[in-house]
A and B are shown apart, each in its own frame.
Chain A
Amino acid sequence: MSDLKLVAPDQPTPLEKLLMNAVSNEHPSADQRARVRLALGLAPIVAVPAAIQPALKSSWRVFAKVAVGGAAVAGAVAAVLFVRAPHVPTPLPVTPTHVATPPVVAAPEPVPAPLAADPAPPVIQADDLAAEPSADKAPAAARGASAKAEDPDLAGQILLIEQARKAISSGNAVSASQALDSYAVQYPRGSFGQEASVLRIEAIDLRGDHAQATQLARAFLTRYPKSPHVSVMQRIADR
């Protein structure tokens, strides 16, 4: 017996249709997709300005090693506040060109050279993003109007977060902190504040300040016990 016979279709009322359409059209935001891809070590799917594509392409390989292995990071926005105190951010000029040339010291890194086997990062255009209904907080009209401008912004954020993560993966806490400082200055309300917070704690731990890192990780866990990245912080907190 087919499912059509098992459950005869009913004719929905207008209000039922309206409600069903509303939720069926709800989608995660482009930022959310980018965040999960970052955590999984997958290539970002944003229309990345050509100037920063090479950096992204080489750095997200390192990501994959760390993130998929369980080192994916996240945190919570407020964690930025409490990790900010121990590490005084270096004031950096905030200009759009910083996205292309972030003031981060390149750290020597054990990145495997060949990229040929890598699938080319899929790219979606700004128009695709603009067409997506979003569940984020901005009004729909505002989202549509700003969608094009969000792409380079998102790419710039991803670049800095990747640089921080790459620096950590290569053991360069100073470089990681600089990238995170740049992120904080350029994107005070950025989409990856959570990731930045946990990376900051990892950087503090990496530079040898284990007691402080442990303290911050515990504070993080107390405040955000349901964070999807509790396990990452737990490992530091349990020392």
Chain B
Amino acid sequence: MLELVASEPIETAPSEASRARLERMFNEHHDFIWRLVRRLGLSAGSADDAAQHVFLVAAERLADIKVGSERAFLFGTALRVARSQSRSDRRWVLEEDMDFRRSHVQRPEDLADQRRAIALMDRILTGMALDLRTVFILSELEGMTMPEVASLVEIPVGTAASRLRRAREAFRTAVAATESNLQPGMKP
């Protein structure tokens, strides 16, 4: 914002309280937001951009964010940013998938490689409906309790639990399908 350069008055600087709040938000939630957008289907590079975008939005709207609602704000913003960015990211993901399919006979030592495991996990997650995937990420990967998940997604606890059940089923089905492709005797 060029209008701010050179002659920006000191009064427009964020207060110490605002900066401290931003610092806390970053320290407590940045990695979570980054992992969230990753698991929502963005490549690592796009996740970097998306996480940065989310926090810039938060910085600009800091005064509008209710104290105690920081995580919810970041979460909602991250969902929107990831959805918007995933379209442009799709080509990358598809290319990655194609690479993956090329080696359709998977060996345990391949799967032991973290990057390959991440690629496989992302492919499985991408196959889930977004509402199921979101609950699965928050509960299974981020370790949130069901009330926490329900609160963040703004759905009843029962609905969150139901989605988690279905997400787990979808996950298990996908993993079982992958395992069935493993060579006999080579399963982990």
| A and B are partners in one complex rather than unrelated chains | yes
Q: How many A-B residue pairs lie within 8 Å, measured between CB atoms? A: 194
Q: Is the CB of A27 within 8 A of B147?
A: no
User: Which of A40, A65, A119, A205 interacts with B2 by CB under 8 Å?
Assistant: A205
A123 on the B face (CB < 8 A): no
Q: Is the CB of B120 within 8 A of A64?
A: no
Query: Knowing A169-B8, A206-B6 touch, does A3 contact B26 (C-beta < 8 A)?
Result: no
Q: Which residues of B contact A205 (CB under 8 A)?
A: 2
- The answer for the CA separation of A97 and B112 in the assembled complex, in Å, is 42
The count of residues in chain A whose C-beta lies closer than 8 Å to any C-beta of chain B is 65
Task: List B95-109 residues whose CB lies under 8 Å from chain A.
Answer: none
B31 on the A face (CB < 8 A): yes
Q: Is the CB of A20 within 8 A of B141?
A: yes
- The answer for the CA separation of A136 and B43 in the assembled complex, in Å, is 10
Chain B residue at minimum C-beta to C-beta distance from A10: B168
Query: Knowing A28-B30, A202-B2, A206-B2 touch, does A136 contact B44 (C-beta < 8 A)?
Result: yes
Q: Is the CB of A7 within 8 A of B164?
A: yes
User: Which of A10, A39, A42, A202 interacts with B56 by CB under 8 Å?
Assistant: A39
Task: List B46-64 residues whose CB lies under 8 Å from chain A.
Answer: 46-53, 55-56, 59-60, 62
User: Which of A26, A40, A135 interacts with B59 by CB under 8 Å?
Assistant: A40
Q: Is the CB of B118 within 8 A of A3?
A: no
Task: List A14-46 residues whose CB lies under 8 Å from chain B.
Answer: 14-16, 18-29, 32-33, 35-37, 39-42
Chain A residue at minimum C-beta to C-beta distance from B44: A135
Chain A interface: which of B15-23, B66-74, B126-134?
B15-23
In the complex, how many angstroms separate the beta carbon of B4 from the nearest chain A beta carbon?
Answer: 5
Q: Which residues of A contact B2 (CB under 8 A)?
A: 71, 202, 205-206, 235-236
Q: Is the CB of B34 within 8 A of A41?
A: no
Q: Which residues of A contact B18 (CB under 8 A)?
A: 68
Q: Is the CB of B88 within 8 A of A23?
A: no
In the complex, how many angstroms separate the beta carbon of A206 from the nearest chain B beta carbon?
Answer: 7
**Which of B1, B147, B165: most chain A Cβ within 10 A?**
B1
Q: Is the CB of B31 within 8 A of A40?
A: no
Q: Is the CB of B48 within 8 A of A32?
A: yes
Q: Is the CB of B10 within 8 A of A16?
A: no
Q: Which residues of B contact A15 (CB under 8 A)?
A: 111, 175, 178-179, 187-188
In the complex, how many angstroms separate the beta carbon of B9 from the nearest chain A beta carbon?
Answer: 9
Q: Is the CB of B60 within 8 A of A70?
A: yes
Q: Is the CB of B31 within 8 A of A39?
A: no
Q: Is the CB of A228 within 8 A of B52?
A: yes
Q: Which residues of A contact B19 (CB under 8 A)?
A: 41-42, 64, 68, 119
User: Which of B1, B88, B117, B161 interacts with A69 by CB under 8 Å?
Assistant: B1
Chain A residue at minimum C-beta to C-beta distance from B163: A7
- The answer for the CA separation of A169 and B13 in the assembled complex, in Å, is 12
Task: List A33-76 residues whose CB lies under 8 Å from chain B.
Answer: 33, 35-37, 39-42, 64-72, 74
In the complex, how many angstroms separate the beta carbon of A5 from the nearest chain B beta carbon?
Answer: 9
Q: Is the CB of A66 within 8 A of B5?
A: yes
Q: Which residues of A contact B23 (CB under 8 A)?
A: 42, 119
Q: Is the CB of A20 within 8 A of B140?
A: yes
Q: Is the CB of A169 within 8 A of B6?
A: yes
Query: Knowing A14-B188, A228-B56 touch, does A3 contact B146 (C-beta < 8 A)?
Result: yes
Identify the 10 closest CB pairs spanning chains A and B, nearest first. A3-B146, A171-B6, A228-B53, A22-B117, A6-B161, A71-B1, A65-B13, A28-B34, A135-B44, A14-B188
6 contacts between A and B (CB under 8 A): A15-B179, A18-B111, A23-B141, A39-B55, A68-B59, A170-B5
